[in-house]
Structure 1
């Protein structure tokens, strides 16, 4: 009986060890990015060569239905009550939500990603897409009360905070030197396909 139990346990030990090794290997793999922020280095047919802000090189295939939108600077005064905006915020020293950047959506993009969620721009940053319900102007900042379907938030926007909006653009803007945010998905063969690209116009680096 002892011998039989030993032969039964031995394969189980091997299976457990292999499973643990596999899980460890998966855990060590870097997560697949959902977006690439960087600079276009070259365009070769339908492939964008992009160097990310962290120095990584990406080859991104442009799908036939890929959407291109331009990003351009606007004034803080262009944020109105009723505007649908996206705001990247970080916790301020007094616990307030300080805006790192604000982008104003055009009407045809109203409702895009509505809500508030963790964001990957900076440590502890949050992206909130919502409608401006109130705007209070002080000497050095605007405090926006924004409302979304699950709640509301106060966002402090300083006069130095970048404010941008989206405008129509096409693939002709995707050229060497352009600053982009490419939204990507990994293909079964390991390559990356870009399904949407936001490009800074007139040398602008998209702040989000």
Structure 2
């Protein structure tokens, strides 16, 4: 398998894992955001933003990715993105982060659904139809199967795309975003791991 194809498969798996787990009530996944304390064997200790430390089993087969920064100008009509956003009192969506998917991951996780990044948070994975300069940033008209949205992306919002990472990147002090399922005695089993690399932390 070529490196490009392997990365495409990895990214598609990441997107599918995050969305499938988000939308399957029986699985009841957790999205764990925090800072790495240690990695001993397959056990990753993460100090969560909520203040507690959890143990996550990261099997050798679990995909590990990182993110790298992009610019707002990199988002163009035809881009496929995932954006977490908050809904204002006026019903309008304002992005809190944007992930630009590579072409190989186009269509994965497509749709609009609840997210847990903050109050009134949602996630939209969709195609960018138009990009319009607005007073508060760029307005992206998004379309996905079954609907469409307009999301305003302020200039200070983190914009990233996926990049390869390895277990050697799972070092103490790094920020991580882990999609995991609960296991026995308060532990978790990782499905996907996105780790900070080159100073860029996963914003999702």
> CA RMSD of the aligned region, Å?
1.8
Alignment of 1:2-81 (within 5 A): 33-81=29-77
Structure 2: any 5+ residue segments left out of the alignment? 1-26
1:198 aligns with 2:194: yes
Q: Which runs of 4+ in 1 moved over 6 A?
A: none
Q: 2: CA distance between counterparts of 1:88 and 1:65?
A: 28
How high is the TM-score relative to the length of structure 1?
0.80
How high is the TM-score relative to the length of structure 2?
0.81
- Cα deviation for residue 124 of structure 1 reads 0.8
Structure 1: any 5+ residue segments left out of the alignment? 1-30
Larger-Rg structure: 1
* Corresponding residue of 1:171: 167
* Corresponding residue of 1:150: 146
Q: 2: CA distance between counterparts of 1:176 and 1:32?
A: 27
Alignment length, in residue pairs? 178
Q: 1: CA distance between counterparts of 2:175 and 2:35?
A: 5
Q: 2: CA distance between counterparts of 1:37 and 1:120?
A: 11
* Corresponding residue of 2:112: 116
Q: 2: CA distance between counterparts of 1:172 and 1:199?
A: 11
- Cα deviation for residue 64 of structure 1 reads 2.4
